[in-house]
Structure 1
Amino acid sequence: MAVHIIGMPIYHGCDKFGSNLGPDKFRELDVLSAIKSLGYDTRDLGNIEVADVSVEDKYKHHPCLKYYDVIIDANTKLAFKVYESISTGNFPVVLGGDHSLGIGSIAGVSKAVKNLGIVWIDAHGDLNTHDTTITGNIHGMPLAASIGKGPDKLVNLFEHRVKVKDENVVHIAGRDLDPGEIELIKNSKIKAFNMDEIRKYGIEKVVNNAINYLRSKVDAIHVSFDIDSIDLAYVPGTGTPVKDGLTIEEAKKTLEMFASSGLMVSLDFVELNPLLDYNDVTANISSELLTRIFENLVVPVNDQLKLG
């Protein structure tokens, strides 16, 4: 197994320039060497090509969703790259870039893993659709699209199918959800552990509950980690920071536990915006968290996965 680093330099989903610089910031901090030093065959597959489009044309292809065709095109390319990686027995790590990239990464992984589980660690729900979005920013929609909710081109990106069952989704660290997202969770089988529950029960109990829940239902999990799951006091370098989030230690524990569960086969790490960072504080924390994952990773045995 090799660790495949895939950069997704996209900001169009959040409509805020800077997150597209995240992948190269990770390279600048030499995250690849840190992972390689742990004994992994680590390969940089480069960046996905993202089309250049003017601000004036952001609504050209959809009346209320920004940069619709740009995001669809880039995510389709990402899905192919992620599928190629995981289907050949490797571990794809998608470095963002904004969280709209989750549409493509999940599409790619779910083509390879027959019964996939998703762990979405984020201050936001990312469960809006074209009918419920307040901003028109597609980085607030990837989880909804992955469970079959939203416009056809997002839902059926890469393959014409729902990518993951809602009952196979765990959402952690939510605390800034829109009304439509709250309603969607209520009417779905998504397992959501918000920050109130984390404060009440502690992060280890919450993550253990999540792992036990998924272990009985899925063949493997894809973890999608948004830096804004961490409290804004610690991570200035992200586009939509929210207070009352995870501490750094809680984020480390969360990622360590999922990595060591024996279920994790792929990863997104998103929403680092170097232009908003202060002395690389957020970038260095992000690099440390990534390294911590691979210090603890227990890879599932390949023949235990039901590929299809």
Structure 2
Amino acid sequence: MALNIIGMPINHGTGKLGSNLGPQKFRELNILDTLKDMGYDVCDLGDIEVAEVCDEDIHRCDEKLKFYDVVIDANTKLAFRVYESISKGNFPLILGGDHSLGLGSIAGVSKHIKNIGVIWIDAHGDMNTHETTLTGNIHGMPLAASMGKGPDKLVNLFEHRVKVKDENVVHIAGRDLDPGEIELIKNSKLKAFTMDKIKENGIDSIIKESLDYLRDKVDAIHVSFDIDSLDSSFVPGTGTPVADGLTVEEAKKLLSSIAASGMLVSLDLVELNPLLDNNDETAKLYMELLKAVFENYNSSVKAQLALG
């Protein structure tokens, strides 16, 4: 089994420049050598091609959703690349890029592992639809679309089907949820552990409950990790920072525990914005979290990922 690095240099889901530079920054910080030094077989599959468009094209294909066609095209390409990786028994490590890339990563993984579980770690819900979005930014919609909620072109991206059942989703660290997202959570079967619940029960309890909940329900887990899940004081280099988030140690413990569970098969690292960072503070912290994952990764995942 190899780790396949896949860059997704997209910022069109957020409308801010900078997150498209995330994959380049990870490489500048020697992500390949870091993983190889940890004993992994690593192959960099390069970056997904993202169409170059001007600001005037923001509503070219949809009067409400921004850069709709660009996001769909790039994520379809990403889904193909992720599916190709995981279907060969490898581990796709997707480097973003804004969180709209969750559309493609989950679509690709779930084509191979139909009964996938998703742990979405994020200050935001990312569960808006075209009807509830307040901004038109598609990075606020990928989890809803993956669960079958939203416009057809997002829901049916790559394959005409729901990518993950709502009862197979765990959302962690939410604290900036829009009204439509709160309503969706209330009317679905997903588990949501807000920061209030984490503070009340402790991160250890949340980790145990999350993994116990998914262990007998799913065949494997995809994690989509947004750096803004951490408290804004730790992460200047992200586009939508939110206060009162995870501490660095809580984030490390959460990711390490999932990695050690034997269920992790793919991972998104998203919303690093080098243009907003302070002397690579956020980027270097992301590398610390990456090391925590792969120092604890259990490679005996479901008979070498042969699940499809």
Where on the TM-score scale, by shorter chain, does this alignment land: which range? over 0.9
Residue 288 of structure 1 pairs with residue 288 of structure 2? yes
Matches within 5 A, 1:1-308: 1-303=1-303, 307-308=307-308
Percent of paired sites with the same residue: 71
Q: How far apart, CA to CA, are the structure 2 residues paired with 1:192 and 1:304?
A: 29
The one-letter code sitting in structure 2 at the alignment partner of 1:225 is F
Q: How far apart, CA to CA, are the structure 2 residues paired with 1:198 and 1:56?
A: 42
Q: How far apart, CA to CA, are the structure 1 residues paired with 2:8 and 2:289?
A: 19
Q: How far does the alpha carbon of each residue in 1:14-49 deviate from its partner, in whole angstroms, 9 at most, with x for none?
A: 000000000000000001111111110011100000
TM-score (norm 2): 0.99
Q: How far apart, CA to CA, are the structure 2 residues paired with 1:15 and 1:248?
A: 27
In the TM superposition, residue 304 of structure 1 has moved relative to its aligned partner by 7.4
SS of 1:93's equivalent? strand
In the TM superposition, residue 114 of structure 1 has moved relative to its aligned partner by 2.3
Q: How far apart, CA to CA, are the structure 2 residues paired with 1:115 and 1:305?
A: 13
User: For the Cα contact (< 8 Å) 1:265–1:299, is it kept in 2?
Assistant: no
Q: How far apart, CA to CA, are the structure 1 residues paired with 2:208 and 2:268?
A: 21
In the TM superposition, residue 306 of structure 1 has moved relative to its aligned partner by 6.5
CA RMSD of aligned residues (A): 0.9
CA change 1:39–1:306 in 2 (3 A) is closer
SS of 1:200's equivalent? helix
CA change 1:189–1:306 in 2 (3 A) is farther
The one-letter code sitting in structure 1 at the alignment partner of 2:294 is F
Q: How far does the alpha carbon of each residue in 1:220-241 deviate from its partner, in whole angstroms, 9 at most, with x for none?
A: 0000000000000000000000
5+ residue gaps, structure 1: none
Q: How far apart, CA to CA, are the structure 1 residues paired with 2:303 and 2:41?
A: 20
Equivalenced residues, count: 308
The one-letter code sitting in structure 2 at the alignment partner of 1:85 is S
